[in-house]
Amino acid sequence: MKSYDIAVIPGDGIGKEVVPASLDVLHTVAEVHGGLRFHFTSFPWSCDYYLEHGTMMPENGLDILQNYEAIFLGAVGDPARVPDHISLWGLLIKIRRGFEQSINVRPAKYFQGLESPLKNPKHFDLIVVRENSEGEYSEIGGRIYNGEDQIAIQNAVFSRKGTERVMRYAFELAKKRRGHVTSATKSNGIVHTMPFWDDVFKDICKEYPDIGHASYHIDALSAFFVTKPEIFDVVVASNLFGDILTDLGGAIMGSIGIAPAANINTSGKYPSMFEPVHGSAPDIYGKGIANPIGQIWTAKMMLDHFGEFEIANLLLEAIEDVTSRGIKTPDIGGQSTTREVTEEICRCLKGMAGYNRTR
């Protein structure tokens, strides 16, 4: 029996609805698998917590989280009561930085039963692996002079270590998928860092002779996300390019409510964090209609991270089965509630695994 200790932070708004839903699904996963057990410890760190304690999480919050194998997070933010920069920097960013979660992984896939804005989405199924700790998003630079002489400089930082790390992650991921990595570059316009990025990519390609590879300039690559997304398997990108591509990836799927994400610590020194792309959606909180799929698919990514690929894939199949039968929340054109979708996914999982409900 394998057992996983998971820290759970539902957070704010619909995080408090879709996280419990996903835990129900994970309990079902454990049940149908038979050889798995999850131990969840829930932490109330959120904007409510902030209003009571003046801090988003306790001083030793990271020390506490350090002991878990993964962090499963809903969403943080209650903009009517707490400014977003406080909630974001006080919890999310602290965890991402403190735990060196230098890689952000976001899949995008055509789902049966979902309406992609693409006219002909074919059956795209890709994952963007984004460098999440350096690159264009550095704090190096500044402004000098005033008036018409004003100058602003922003430096990009690409370390060999950071670049190799994200590329190796992409290739390892491709090994477990369809065996292809595309690099997002712009070495025709950005003449120092991007040729460096290309050089490192060539080096890493040599380490993986069995994995196919391609390199496209980010402008063309973005266009291909719209015109032929089915050509991509794993896409590796710098911080800025990855940021933009992942939003585009989410957009071609059809709804922010289904998009999952993972923040990965590759050294294994700290836990990785799994959280959906969407926020706390205060506009629908309390109505019971939040789409749980983003959070449930995020749970699937956590299972992948644990190496539980078989049951993870079964879970994804169950999600798709449910959407294809029209059991959907209103954001994706259905009339079902969070609960109904969740229960149906659990039922479907049990059915797929040939689980005998009468025992």
- Residue 281: contacted member of ligand NAI, Mg ion, none (CB under 5 to 8 Å, by partner type): ligand NAI
* 136 binds Mg ion, rule: CB under 5 A: no
The set of residues, in sequence order, having a beta carbon less than 8 Å from that of 24 and lying 6+ positions away, is 342, 346
Q: How many residues bind Mg ion (CB under 5 A)?
A: 1
Neighbouring residues of 347: CB distance < 8 A, sequence distance ≥ 6: none
**From 27-35, 102-110, 192-200, 241-249, span contacting Mg ion (CB under 5 A):** 241-249
Asked if 22 and 291 touch (Cβ cutoff 8 Å), the reply is no
From the number of C-beta atoms within 10 Å of its C-beta (0-12, 13-18, 19+), residue 266 rates as middle
Q: Which residues pair with 71 in a beta bridge?
A: 7, 273
Q: How far is the CB of 37 from ligand NAI (least distance, A)?
A: 28
Q: Which is nearer to ligand NAI, 186 or 328 (CB)?
A: 328
Question: Smallest gap, in angstroms, from Cβ of residue 294 to ligand NAI?
Answer: 5
> Residue 76 binds which entry of Mg ion, ligand NAI, none, with Cβ cut-offs from 5 to 8 Å by kind?
ligand NAI
In the complex with ligand NAI, which residue's Cβ is closer, 62 or 88? 88
Q: Which is nearer to Mg ion, 246 or 336 (CB)?
A: 246
Distance from C-alpha of 72 to C-alpha of 8, rounded to nearest angstrom:
5
User: Residue 215, exposed/middle/buried by CB under 10 A (0-12, 13-18, 19+)?
Assistant: middle
Q: Which does 243 bind (CB under 5 to 8 A by kind): ligand NAI, Mg ion, none?
A: Mg ion
Strand-pair partners of 264? 103
Our measurement of the distance from residue 295's CA atom to the centroid of its chain's CA atoms, rounded to an integer in Å, reads 10
Please provide residue 279's backbone torsions phi and psi, each rounded to the nearest 5 degrees. Answer: -95, -155
Please select the residue that binds Mg ion; options are 243, 275, 308, 320, rule is CB under 5 A.
243
Q: Are 344 and 335 in contact (CB under 8 A)?
A: no
Asked if residues 267 and 162 have their Cβ atoms less than 8 Å apart, the reply is no
Assigned token pair, 324: 């294809």
Q: Which is nearer to ligand NAI, 166 or 258 (CB)?
A: 258
- Of 84 and 317, nearer to ligand NAI (C-beta) is 84
Nearer CB in complex with ligand NAI: 195/282 = 282
Pick what 257 binds: ligand NAI, Mg ion, none; C-beta below 5 to 8 Å, kind-dependent. ligand NAI
Distance CA 105, CA 263 (A): 7
Residues of the shown chain interacting with ligand NAI in the complex, contacts defined by CB under 6 A: 14, 18, 75-77, 79, 84, 88, 92, 256-257, 275, 278-284, 290-291, 294, 329, 331
| Residue ranges in contact with Mg ion by CB under 5 A | 243
